[in-house]
Amino acid sequence: MLNVVVLVSGGGTNLQAVIDGVEKGSITNTRIAGVISNNQNAYALTRAQKHNIPGICISPKMFETREKFNEKFLEAVDVIGPDLIVLAGFLVVIPPAMIEKYRNRIINIHPSLIPSFCGTGYYGLKVHEAALARGVRIVGATVHFVDEGTDTGPIILQKAVEVQQGDTPEALQRRVMEQAEWKILPEAVDLIANGRIIVEGNRVKRL
């Protein structure tokens, strides 16, 4: 059984997709052991509560230094002892010590087709604003393992979505979530839970 901790900052629709996958059986061999938010008011914490999943808040704002936060954050994760850490709209930089300790056991959902519209400064709605400003016709989402870079780790799954005439950033964000994110994030968790992928260098191999 894969023990998963999900890290969130906001609405938690991707968390919901994973919860639904586990409850409905499209994700097997998986238990969501906890949810950690850096934002006490994140609706994601309410979603966790509704499904009897323990949720806690830990934020850099609660500590005098980033080092102290990083230390306590790692401790909070270690207490849960996850096999997999899922970043589902988590907007805090993962401490290097956590990346090292949980190498190839942290995955992230990013709302673009990496390597487009990713890296520092590209998160949430900004990604969709940039895609519309550039005039691309195809966007999408990516699930990847987390390494020391920003959105640079091995890619697990990607799914493309078409831009439509008259799209606003909000409309595009919603379509990318519905058509891509909420599908590929649960699928990636299921693949990992069932030992269906391995990492070879910076590439993921499907077994």
- Residues annotated as part of the active site: 110
**Considering beta carbons, is residue 14 or 38 the nearer one to ligand GAR?**
14
Closest CB to ligand GAR: residue number: 89
Given a contact cutoff of 8 angstroms between Cβ atoms, the answer to whether 76 and 36 are in contact is yes
Query: Which tokens belong to 195?
Result: 């030992």
Contact flag: residue 94 with ligand GAR (CB under 6 A):
no
Gap between the Cα atoms of 98 and 201, Å rounded: 19
Among 181, 188, 193, 204, which residue sits at the site for ligand GAR (rule: CB under 6 A)?
181
Contacts of 75 (CB under 8 A, 6+ apart): none
Minimal distance in Å, beta carbon 43 to ligand GAR? Answer: 8
Amino acid identity, position 156? I
Cis, peptide link before residue 115, omega less than 30° from 0: yes
Minimal distance in Å, beta carbon 207 to ligand GAR? Answer: 26
Among 177, 188, 189, 191, which residue sits at the site for ligand GAR (rule: CB under 6 A)?
177
**Considering beta carbons, is residue 123 or 145 the nearer one to ligand GAR?**
123
Amino acid identity, position 24? K
Q: In the window 119-138, what residues touch ligand GAR (CB under 6 A)?
A: 123-124, 127
Gap between the Cα atoms of 97 and 32, Å rounded: 23
Contact flag: residue 186 with ligand GAR (CB under 6 A):
no
Between vectors from CA 168 to CA 162 and to CA 171, what angle results, nearest 5°? 65
Contact flag: residue 10 with ligand GAR (CB under 6 A):
yes
Between vectors from CA 205 to CA 202 and to CA 207, what angle results, nearest 5°? 160
Contact flag: residue 21 with ligand GAR (CB under 6 A):
no
Query: Which tokens belong to 188?
Result: 């990636």
Minimal distance in Å, beta carbon 8 to ligand GAR? Answer: 6
Catalog residues that contact ligand GAR under the rule CB under 6 A. Answer: 8, 10-14, 44, 88-89, 109-111, 123-124, 127, 177, 181
